[in-house]
Amino acid sequence: MLRLVFTERAQADLLEAWLYIAEDNLRAADQVLDTIEQESEVLHHARDVRLASF
């Protein structure tokens, strides 16, 4: 199974988003990043399932 890896640019964008949200709400910033990571894993896994069906 392939591993999901965020590019350096994506990591920088995520950090920028987290910093922006965290200015107002630290918990929300953490939750947004957690959700992005979880949903990215779901999409990545779905990709693996589709590839395995070929």
- Give the tens place of pLDDT for each residue, 1-54: 678 899 999 999 999 999 999 999 999 999 999 999 999 999 988 876 666 665
pLDDT at 46: 85
pLDDT at 36: 97
Split into its structural domains, the chain has a count of 1
pTM as predicted: 0.76
Is 12 part of any domain? no
Contacts of 27 (CB under 8 A, 6+ apart): none
Is 43 part of any domain? yes
Is 47 part of any domain? yes
pLDDT at 51: 60
pLDDT at 49: 64
Is 45 part of any domain? yes
pLDDT at 3: 81
Residue-range definition of the domain harbouring residue 40:
26-54
Per-residue b/e over 21-53, b at no fewer than 16 CB within 10 Å?
beeeeeeebeebbeeeeeeeeeeeeeeeeeeee
Is 35 part of any domain? yes
